[in-house]
Amino acid sequence: MSTRQHSFTTNEPEPNPAPETSYAERSRTLLHVTKVGVLATHSHRQPGFPFGSVMPYALDAEGSPLFLISSMAMHTQNLVRDPHASLLVTAPDAAHDPLGAERATVIGEVTEVPTTEIDNVREAYLSRHENARYWVDFEDFAFYLMKVVDLYFVGGFAVMGWVAKPEFSRAEPDPLAETAAGILAHMNGDHADALVLIASSVKGIEAEEAKMTAVDRLGFHVRLKTPERVRSVRIGFPSEVRSPDDCRKALVDMVQEARESVG
C-alpha cells in the first residue's frame, strides 16, 4: 500500500522541483529525534472522553513507541481497560512555529511488554532516558509497547497524509537527523549569503535574505525574502548525502557552481 501524500497547489508552481523524502521516512525521523509526546487514552472516569498525558517514549526496531509507566498513573489505568490510544509527537522546535512544524499522530494498541522481551526493551528505553534508571525497577512500573495500526503525518501548511504501517516500519531515520540542527545553525550563521547565491542559481529566485529551515539526505528547504514576499522552496543536492561531511562537500560544490554560473 503506498503512502498517500497531499499538498495544495498555487498559481505559481515552484521552479525546478526537488526530490523529497517520503512521509514514512519523515515520520520515522521525527519520532527518532523527539523523546516526548502526548499520549491520548480513553478515560475510564469520563467514558467517551479522551485523556491526554505527557509521555516520554523510546522506539523498538520497527519504530513502535515504548513507554515506562506506573500502574498508579491514570493513563495506565485507562489502557488496562481499553488499549486503544494515540501518541502525538511534534518537532523539537515546534514552539517557534507550531502550525508550520512537523508532527505525527501514531494510532495503535498499547499493551504490557511480555517478560521474555523486557531486556531488549529496557536497553532501548534507558538509552534514550537515562534518568529513568532511578525508577525503572520500582514495583509499580512496567514497560508497555504501542503496536502501530496507522499514522498521520503533517509536514507543515498544506503538507499532510496517512502513512501505512508497513511503510513506516520499513523506513529508517534520515542519516542527518542527529546533526541537522547543527548544519542549520552553521549555514544560517556563517553562510546565509551562500544560500542566497544557490537559490538564485538553482531556482532563479533573486532573494534579499535566505534561511535554511530543514535539511535531509536529498536536499534542504530555504525560506527566501524577496522584494515581493517571503516564500519557501526546496533545493535538491546533486546526489544523496549520508553524513555531515557529505553535506558540507555538496554545499561547497553547489556554491562553487553557482559562482561560476554568474561569473
Question: How many other C-beta atoms are found inside a 10 Å radius of the C-beta of residue 209?
Answer: 14
Average pLDDT, the chain: 91
- Tell me: pLDDT of 1 over 60: no
The model's confidence at residue 2, banded by pLDDT at 50, 70 and 90, is very low
The model's confidence at residue 10, banded by pLDDT at 50, 70 and 90, is very low
- Tell me: pLDDT of 105 over 80: yes
More confident residue, 243 or 18: 243
More confident residue, 3 or 103: 103
- Tell me: pLDDT of 228 over 80: yes
Residue 260 confidence (pLDDT): 87
Longest dimension (CA), the chain: 71
The model's confidence at residue 100, banded by pLDDT at 50, 70 and 90, is confident
Residues 132-171 have pLDDT tens digits of 999 999 999 999 999 999 999 998 877 899 999 999 999 9
CB-count burial class (<10 Å; 0-12, 13-18, 19+) for 13: exposed
The residues, any chain, with a CB within 8 Å of residue 26's CB and separated by 6 or more, are 102, 153, 155, 174, 216
Paired strand residues for 150: 107
In the chain, what are the domains?
Answer: 6-170 (2.30.110.10), 180-262 (3.20.180.10)
Secondary structure of residue 152 in the 3-state scheme: strand
Residue 97 confidence (pLDDT): 74
- Report how far residue 97's alpha carbon sits from residue 93's, in angstroms, rounded to the nearest whole number: 8
- Tell me: pLDDT of 233 over 60: yes
Residue 117 confidence (pLDDT): 93
Characterize 96-118 residue by residue with b for buried, 16 or more Cβ atoms within 10 angstroms of its Cβ, and e for exposed: eeeeebbbbbbbbebebbeeeee
Alpha carbon of 210 to those of 91, 93, 195, 226, 248: distances in Å? 22, 19, 6, 9, 18
Residues 50-94 have pLDDT tens digits of 999 999 999 999 999 999 999 999 999 999 999 999 999 998 876
